[in-house]
Homo-oligomer: A and B are copies of this chain.
Amino acid sequence: MDNIKKDERIEDLSIKGLKIIQNPNYFCFGMDAVLLSWFASREEKKNLKMLDLGTGTGIIPILLYAKSENCRIDGMEIQPDLVDMANRSVELNQLEDKIRIIQGDIRNLTDEVLPNTYDVVVSNPPYMRGNSGLKNEHQSRTISRHEVSCTLEDVIRSAKRLLKDHGRLYLVHRPERLNDIFFLLRQYKMEVKLLQMVHSKADKEANLVLVEGRKSGKPGLMVKPPLIIYNEDGGYTEAVNRIYGL
């Protein structure tokens, strides 16, 4: 195929015939992106304007498209190579009129994304603090994993600015960052409304947390039943199979 470059591969997303271009030299999407798209689509999403901050190869806009109806979805990414891959995945799925990939820095928003215009903002931000953990030797994967180009506060500040009043922010993150997530959201006048812990097994500590915040939301939140990934026999649980459409 014309639009595939060296080392790239096309993955079938097993939903509505959608596909995505991945490249092992870059950060490839994982279960967290799938869980976030599922979590953000819990309630019906229809005729909404959505934005994915730090969209990478564009996996989340494509999955959100699959799970929503008549929504307009933007994805913003700072790295030109990933913007190029994401754009080619959008073309591959002929979704140019539904999904727009924007090259940009969420710390310096331009007129391409206007304040107070989005119903939904989602983000699967870098998990590691800028100065913690081993930096990935490949610069691009480092940007995707570490807070070098964007911190959690950058994401929350931008979301606050871009969301309409009462608009929703969906995040997937590591549980150890919950102190920061709760504190920053309230500092930026948003409230956590829904929380779901993700545990690899029922008797293990949580590995991921899914968070729904609401701009100008009233206090009060619900903690959903835990999402368990693996059964005792090592296979996916029914809940995960349903999420993957298996």
Residues of A within 8 A of B (CB): 175-180, 182-183, 185-186, 191-192, 195, 197, 199, 202-206, 209, 219-226
Chain B's closest residue to A175 (CB) is B223
Binding site secondary structure of chain A: mixed
Contact call B221/A176, Cβ cutoff below 8 A? yes
Contact call B178/A202, Cβ cutoff below 8 A? no
Q: Which of B176, B180, B195 is in CB contact (< 8 Å) with A178?
A: B195
A192-B179, A195-B178, A197-B197 given as contacts; is B223 within 8 A of A209 (CB)? yes
Contact call B199/A226, Cβ cutoff below 8 A? yes
Q: How far apart are the CA atoms of A206 and B206 in the complex, in Å? A: 15
Contact call B179/A221, Cβ cutoff below 8 A? yes
Kindly provide the distance from the CB of A20 to the nearest chain B CB, expressed in whole angstroms.
30
List 10 additional contacts besides A177-B219, A179-B191; criterion CB under 8 Å: A176-B221, A178-B195, A179-B182, A179-B221, A182-B182, A182-B186, A183-B186, A197-B226, A199-B225, A202-B225
Contact call A222/B195, Cβ cutoff below 8 A? no
Chain B's closest residue to A182 (CB) is B182
Chain B's closest residue to A187 (CB) is B183
Contact call B205/A222, Cβ cutoff below 8 A? yes
Q: Looking at A175, A192, A199, A223, which has the most chain B CB atoms within 10 Å of its CB?
A: A223
Question: Could you show 22 A-B contacts with beta carbons less than 8 Å apart?
Answer: A175-B195, A176-B220, A176-B221, A176-B222, A177-B219, A178-B192, A178-B221, A179-B182, A179-B186, A179-B191, A179-B220, A179-B221, A180-B219, A182-B183, A183-B183, A199-B226, A202-B202, A202-B226, A203-B225, A206-B222, A206-B223, A209-B223
Q: How far apart are the CA atoms of A197 and B202 in the complex, in Å? A: 12
Q: Which of B175, B202, B224 is in CB contact (< 8 Å) with A221?
A: B175
Q: How far apart are the CA atoms of A223 and B178 in the complex, in Å? A: 10
Kindly provide the distance from the CB of A127 to the nearest chain B CB, expressed in whole angstroms.
12
Q: How far apart are the CA atoms of A205 and B222 in the complex, in Å? A: 7
Kindly provide the distance from the CB of A209 to the nearest chain B CB, expressed in whole angstroms.
7
Chain B's closest residue to A191 (CB) is B179
Q: Which of B185, B221, B222, B226 is in CB contact (< 8 Å) with A226?
A: B226
Chain B's closest residue to A219 (CB) is B179
